[in-house]
Amino acid sequence: MAAPAYYAHPSAILDEGCDIGDGTKIWHFCHIMPGSRIGRNCSLGQNVFVATGVELGDNVKVQNNVSLYTGVICADDVFLGPSMVFTNVINPRSAVERKNEYRKTHVGRGATIGANATIVCGHDIGAYAFIGAGAVITRDVPPYALIVGNPGRAIGWMSEHGERLFFNEHDEAVCPRSGEHYRLHNGAVTKISHE
């Protein structure tokens, strides 16, 4: 029998029926439940929990002490900071079973969620959005938005390279790291190409 094409630390628990992509690394004291799917070249830090039904795209980085509950879907290249929190029930009570009321949370491609941020379930985090450390997300987040505070509020825009964008009088900005161009129109940012 061929060895798996991923690495799991001996202290990690990988339940039968989980799907783990090639090149992924799963570190100390993680628990991966059956029916979850982890893409290629992901990294799961110490003490990460992945519940049944969770989907992680390729190249997702999950830092220490993050729990991904049923209903969470992360696209490729997502970064989940240390001890950030997902939820999946909007009004939990210990004595009331609400497993049929789980709400989905979708995190778009390339998004970053900072350390200790909390994502209240049922909201979409747009592609390349940047959620600051400790922010509390209580509504959908548009692509490229920079969100801070509790409750989370937009204070600007970020490039795909994680640099702050500053828009000129023509509502255009250039990423200082990549040189890529962006346009702000009707409260939404898109990347534009200059050929």
Q: How many domains does the chain have?
A: 2
User: 78 and 147: one domain?
Assistant: yes
Q: How confident is the model at residue 3 (pLDDT cuts 50, 70, 90)?
A: confident
Question: Burial of 16 by CB count in 10 Å (0-12 exposed, 13-18 middle, 19+ buried)?
Answer: exposed
Mean pLDDT of 27-47: 98
Asked if residue 125 and residue 82 are part of one domain, the reply reads yes
pLDDT-derived band of residue 84, with 50, 70 and 90 as boundaries? very high
Whether residue 154 is found in the same domain as residue 174 = no
Predicted pLDDT of residue 12: 98
Average of per-residue pLDDT across 145-152: 98
Q: What is the pLDDT of residue 1?
A: 63
Q: Supply the CATH number for residue 114's domain.
A: 2.160.10.10
Domain harbouring 183, CATH code: 2.20.70
As a whole number, mean pLDDT of residues 52-78 equals 98
Is residue 51 located within the same domain as residue 133? yes
Work out the average pLDDT over 24-37.
Answer: 98
DSSP state of 131: E
Q: Region 38-58: what's the mean pLDDT?
A: 98
Cα–Cα separations (whole angstroms), residue 2 to 19, 32, 176: 16, 21, 46
pLDDT over 80 at 28, yes or no: yes
Residues 43, 121, single domain; the answer is yes
Q: What is the mean pLDDT of residues 62-76?
A: 98
109 and 39, same structural domain? yes
| Domain assignment present for 2 | no
Residue 184 placed within a domain: yes
- Pair (154, 166) in one structural domain: no
Residue 194 pLDDT: 62
Residue 1 lies in a domain: no
Cis ω for the linkage preceding 151 (within 30 of 0): yes
Range of the domain at 154: 7-89+102-158
On whether both 192 and 110 belong to a single domain, the answer is: no
Within a domain: 142: yes
Domain match, 114 and 193 both: no
Residue 60 has pLDDT above 60, yes or no: yes
Question: Per the domain annotation, does 44 fall within a domain?
Answer: yes
22 plus 77 within the same structural domain: yes
pLDDT of 136 strictly over 60: yes
Instruction: Let me know if residue 185 belongs to a domain.
Output: yes
| Nearest-5° Cα angle at 115, 123 to 46 | 105
Q: What's the mean pLDDT when you consider all of the chain?
A: 96
- Could you tell me what percent of the chain has a pLDDT over 70? 98
Question: Using one digit for the tens of pLDDT, what is the confidence trace for 159-186?
Answer: 999 999 999 999 999 999 999 999 999 9
Q: Are residues 110 and 175 in the same domain?
A: no
What integer pLDDT is reported at residue 129 of this predicted model? 98
Same domain, 175 and 143: no
